[in-house]
Amino acid sequence: MISGRTRIYGLVGHPVRHSLSPAMHNALFARLGLDAVYLAFDVDPRRAEGVTDAIRTLDLVGVNLTVPFKERVLPLLDHVTIAAEEAGAVNVVINVDGWLTGYNTDGEGLLGALAEEHSFSAKGQRCVVLGAGGAGRAVASALAAAGAQEVALLNRDVGRAERAAAQLGARNPGCALHGAPLHPGWFGEIAERADLVVNCLGGGTEALVESLPIDPLPSTAIWCDINYWMSAPPRLSACAARGLRTSGGLGMLVHQGALSFELFTGYPIAASELRDTLEAKR
């Protein structure tokens, strides 16, 4: 029962009505007997500067952030973790007496999912990340920190990819990080030596991703798409038909969701447990 003492958590983004996060978190609150509720807040992107004020004013205990707020909210926080700073984006904000701390669990969530699904370790691997936004930088940062040999950031705005690669490379000198244009020719050259491709581009880019050639990818490569909400993520089925290992975004969702839930409540939750909870609610 919701009361005046119920603690409020939520997801802030646009759009968010499709999100599975409320189902995940509310099921866990109920199972653990916590007096808490998790809501989806669909916020006009033009009101990004008011998000942190709303968190403080309404005394929201914690929120997840998704597009387009992961990057816009970062400079308005009181403190951010190293992972969030490297990513240039936050996806979790914790409120303690009006003091807001930003975290980024996207990269760690992806690594957890790939380890669970494919026994994948980033150490010594050559990786390609499509997109240099908040999610792409978080993934690239996590791969580099985990010992990847090379991470190529491909983006339509190549300058953005190059800046992100330079910033991450300064913190991870053992990894060769570089930015490149996101188009079929460049991808085809890089794909020949790729162990992992992660699509971090969102809706509206499907045609561009579909244009990327997958034939040059080694037979041992993994293609991952973080867009769990897409019924048919671009190139995912084609890679599977070619015999490549593939991952949808659900694994990353549950792994980063488990990390978020622990930050929110202090309760450690296994990603497998969260996946079972989510599957039961779908």
Rg of the chain (C-alpha set): 18
Sheet with 36-42, edge to edge strand ranges: 36-42, 7-13, 62-65, 92-96, 99-103, 79-80
- Nearest-angstrom CA–CA distance, 37 and 24: 11
What's the DSSP call for residue 157?
S
The number of beta carbons lying within 10 Å of the beta carbon of residue 23 is 15
In the block, residue with structure tokens 């499709």: 18
Q: Is 256:249 a contact under the CB 8 Å cutoff?
A: no
In the block, residue with structure tokens 């993934």: 139
- Nearest-angstrom CA–CA distance, 76 and 22: 25
- 102 SS3 class: strand
Active site residues: 70
In the block, residue with structure tokens 């995940």: 24
Hey, what's the torsion of the CAs at 258, 117, 188, 154, to 10 degrees? 10
Tokens of 29: 């609150």
- Nearest-angstrom CA–CA distance, 11 and 166: 31
Q: Is 12:65 a contact under the CB 8 Å cutoff?
A: yes
What's the DSSP call for residue 214?
-
* Positive or negative torsion for Cα 88, 89, 93, 97: positive
Task: Spell out where 138-187 has E strands.
Answer: 150-155, 176-181
